[in-house]
Amino acid sequence: GILTQILKEYCSALLKATEDESQPGMVNDLRLPVQHESIVSAMPLQERIVMSDAALQILDRQNHWNTKLAKNALEDLRKEIQTGECDMYVDEKDRVQRVLTIVALRLETQHGSVLAQIGKCQNGESSARCTYPG
């Protein structure tokens, strides 16, 4: 079922992240060199959506989503989850958290020219935009 698939993908992402980030002896049953959010963001989108939807359902049950503005914000969160722009989870203190994954990339030519920005992703749409610093 879906839980088996989520477990399989989570374990796969955890193993890969642990191999990529750790030095021998750093991994044990008490401490991992990676955070839960990093593991989830490395999983396939479909499993991330299912996990985030569970947190979103908890958020939806809370009383402060009664106004039209709040319902629109909740719908915006749903759209961000569906497009992979964010993930949501429940932390150890039972708070719903929204997580964004941000990737920074520095490109430099052999002559020292640097690209400061190579594109943007907004509302699930990506666009290329190469600009130099300054």
Q: Which residues of the chain carry a pLDDT beneath 50?
A: 134
- Are 15 and 32 contacting, i.e. CB atoms less than 8 angstroms apart? no
- How much is the pTM? 0.65
Nearest to 34 by CA among 132, 43, 124: 43
Can you give the pLDDT at residue 134? 47
88, burial (CB in 10 Å: exposed 0-12, middle 13-18, buried 19+): buried
In this structure, the strands spanning 117-122 and 114-115 are unpaired
Chain segment 42-76, per-residue pLDDT in tens: 899 999 999 999 898 888 887 666 777 677 888 89
Does residue 40 sit in helix, strand or coil? helix
